[in-house]
Structure 1
Amino acid sequence: MTNISSHKKIANHSVAWEQAFGYVQAVKLKDTIYISGQLSHDGDGKLVAPAELNADGRPADFSQMEPQIRQTYANAKTLLAAYGATLDDVVEETLFVLDVPSAFSAGSKVRKEMYGTDMPQCASNLIGVTALAFPEQVVEITFRAVIDHPVD
């Protein structure tokens, strides 16, 4: 975690596209943590469970939705931990997906698993989009968390 001013604290995964695009993965301002769109990458920046592409360079199917969602939540948990927070502190999430029906099916299972409850206590949005940052990517998730404890 890095202090970029006396008010903002940032966190990154140290993956290549942070520098290439020029953004941070998370910003904490006062009691709120804003997490940029998370992908299903590992610690080296390699996409976990990449979708197989068809001849048009689009995902051939969406069978990788569940493992991509699971890894995306794991990456968000890593960022939250940098601020002493957990998924219990998340108040809103937005899933951007290439296929809403498969995301609804996979997401309902993985969300309950990750939050550890059948009714996660956060507002949730599921939005279908036509493309994401990488062709093999089928989901991206943003998070907003509010913490009620000080973090240095």
Structure 2
Amino acid sequence: MNDAREVENFRVPWEESYGYVQAVKRGDTIYLSGQVAHKGTEVVAPAPVNDAGRVTDFSPMGDQLRQCYANAAELLGRYGASLDDVVEEVIYALDVDAADAAAGPVRKEAYGRPDPQVASTMVGTPRLAFPELLVEVKFIARV
């Protein structure tokens, strides 16, 4: 087994400020940090928030999930892998009901089949990295 560590980033400011990489490949396993809905430094389909910083509308959940899977696919592609190589995912959602309603269609679309062959866990959380985020998805892939 090759124990060399290969890392990938998107080169966004929060990688340096928080101190992490987006992906680590070690041997035949690729670990992706939780992927959020961003393109560059912009949040994709940001959820509206009130003056207290609380989300007021969860309808962008599907669009945010699509971007999470798109970001994961991009990172995996840098290793010559794809979402077909994902064996486990963990979905962290501000609203589990809204995530559950959106996740089925989005996941089936992302994995390209009606029965994604991926171990999946969904966890409710009170907050994510940015107030406008509704969901974050962590992945493990084997190649």
Write out the 4+ residue segments of structure 1 that deviate beyond 6 Å after TM superposition.
none
1:40 is matched with: 37
Letter in 1 for 2:116: P
Following the alignment from structure 1 to structure 2, what is the Cα–Cα distance between the partners of residues 124 and 81?
21
**Cα deviation, residue 56, structure 1:** 1.7
2:136 to 121, 126, 140: 140
| Aligned length, in residue pairs | 141
2:58 alignment partner, SS class:
coil
| Deviation by residue 1:33-82 (Cα, 9 ceiling, x = unmatched) | 0000111001x211000000023211102011000000110000000001
**1:72 aligned partner:** 68
Task: Give the alignment of 1:1-152 within 5 angstroms.
Answer: 7-42=4-39, 44-147=40-143
Output the amino acid matched with 2:44: V
Quick one: percent identity of the two aligned structures?
Answer: 52
Calculate the aligned-residue CA RMSD, in Å. Answer: 0.8
SS where residue 137 of structure 1 aligns? coil
Residue 117 of structure 1: CA displacement? 0.5
Give the TM-score normalised by structure 1.
Answer: 0.91
Match of 1:141, SS? strand
User: TM-score, length-normalised on structure 2?
Assistant: 0.97
- Structure 2: where are the runs of 5+ without partners? none
